[in-house]
Chains A and B, each alone.
Chain A
Amino acid sequence: MTTLKTYLYDEHLKLGAKIVPFAGWDMPVQYTSVKDEVLAVRQNVGVFDVSHMGEFFVEGEDAEQFVDAVLTNDIINAPVAKAVYSPLCRDNGTVIDDLIVYKLAPGRIMICVNASNTDKDFNWIKSKHVGYKCSLTNRSNDFSLLAIQGPKTYETLLPLFSELPDIEYYSVYETTFEGESVIAARTGYTGEDGFEIFGRHETIKALWQKLISLRVTPCGLAARDVLRLEVGYPLYGHEINDETTPYDAGLGWAVKHSKTKFIGKEALADKKANYKTIKLILEKGIPREGYPVLNSANEPIGIITSGTMSVVLNKGIAMARIQIDKVPSDEVALVDIRQKPYPAQITKKPFVTGGHK
């Protein structure tokens, strides 16, 4: 299988990026140092090329109704210019993907999905697109996407656009960069303040070059993964997958049973979870995906779904999927690292508090 390349691929090579295959794409995993890239985003500003992600457009008078009927979260009652995070479920309640809906204008919605799921999502949504007065188009190939993240994002971006109001977190604004239209969303996957800028390939390439010239730190997928894990955000294929429901992944808050209908409503009605997704922090040892999790009596209770060394805390951190009837009551667990048990504290709060508004 040949891998896809984003429009910025040559820019990454110029900066000496290490390239790895990810979700069918050749993507920059790091430029200089994962640690430096994480700290740039926590303390300053960094930029990620996330053009591999998919963009769908739903346009027409029934756009809100249609998207609301497909997704578990409430789309209809969100104001125009808001962004809404939502799982996309099957009729049996398992998660096809998690995604963000951008309400660009009345009757005009953009949906941003995970790269690995783009075709699966589009085919599923398309299969439900019957009887609605709205179009559904997969425009993933038309768009490049940059995530600019960190406390200095706004002051860095403000002079570059024709206008860029200080919009709320999880909202969206259409503006121009060098005369070309772009969609500026105050969203991200790092827990920090930041924007995601969607635009045509040439426009986004020019923006990337501008940001690099302004010494914004280019950041790769490795830093992105550490950043999202430090703030406890789930990742499809890890905390969420084809076999889990939103309740298994702690995403019950994004399932709105008050809606008259949505795909998976009946299956999810009892709000029952088979698993609980928990956060673990270790004083010693680094938990990694697939490592077994044990209770203090050494009995297996679950598995690490994502783990890393936290750059900010300098400790091992992880998310784990635990069988619902085996969640320890004493807030203590063990992680089996190379056949040795390492003590882990169960924590409810994010490992790191991001600075987003």
Chain B
Amino acid sequence: MATNIPGNLKYTKEHEWTLIEGDTVTIGITDFAQSALGDIVFLEVPEVGTHLNAGATFGVVESIKSVSDLYSPVTGEVVARNSDLEGSPEKINEDAYGSWLIKVKANNTSEFNNLLSAEQYQEFCNSSH
């Protein structure tokens, strides 16, 4: 079902996308995730300066009927959060890849090797549904 998976991004099995620029990782949720969630109505992401551990939850995204945890793909520090989404989280439904949530400065760029390529993520979506 998942068709919109840009080739220039890396992905997680928790349906997050990442854009890697040097040691900075921009994080969002995939088009597959926004579609599965439905109308997104609430977003909770950490403040700038918060330390995140790879694999740990760092926030939540809520649709009208559901709550989903967000998992950090890397260990590092939050260096930015997308203020455009405050008050209008529905923008994620409209443009999942244009609606980044946070940017994280990674402590250890070798963690990037754990991320999935677009092909691997497509395969993961196909196999789990």
Contacts and interface: CB of A to CB of B under 8 A. Distances in A.
Main secondary structure of the interface of B (DSSP, over half): strand
B65 A285 contact: no
Nearest to A225: B65
Given A34-B64, A309-B62, A309-B64, A286 B41 contact: yes
Interface residues of B, number: 11
A288 B44 CA distance: 15
Interface string A307-321: 011010010000000
A338 B65 contact: no
Contacts of A285: 42
Given A30-B38, A288-B67, A309-B42, 16 more contacts: A33-B38, A34-B63, A34-B64, A34-B65, A35-B39, A35-B64, A222-B38, A222-B65, A225-B65, A226-B65, A285-B42, A286-B41, A286-B67, A309-B64, A311-B64, A338-B44
Interface in A306-338: 308-309, 311, 314, 338
B89 to A, nearest CB: 11
Interface in B14-40: 38-39
Main secondary structure of the interface of A (DSSP, over half): mixed
A69 to B, nearest CB: 39
Given A34-B65, A222-B65, A226-B65, A309 B41 contact: yes
Interface residues of A, number: 16
Given A30-B38, A33-B38, A35-B39, A338 B64 contact: no
B42 A286 contact: yes
Contact of A308 (B38, B60, B64): B64
Interface of A: 29-30, 33-35, 222, 225-226, 285-286, 288, 308-309, 311, 314, 338
Contacts of B38: 30, 33-34, 222
A302 B10 CA distance: 44
Contacts of B39: 33-35
A170 B38 CA distance: 34
A317 to B, nearest CB: 11
A15 to B, nearest CB: 15
B72 to A, nearest CB: 16
Contacts of B67: 286, 288
Interface string B48-75: 0000000000001011110100000000
Contact of A226 (B60, B62, B64): B64
A33 B63 CA distance: 11
Contacts of B64: 34-35, 222, 226, 308-309, 311
Contacts of A33: 38-39
Contacts of B62: 286, 309
Contacts of A225: 65
Contacts of A309: 41-42, 62, 64
Most buried by A among B41, B42, B64: B64
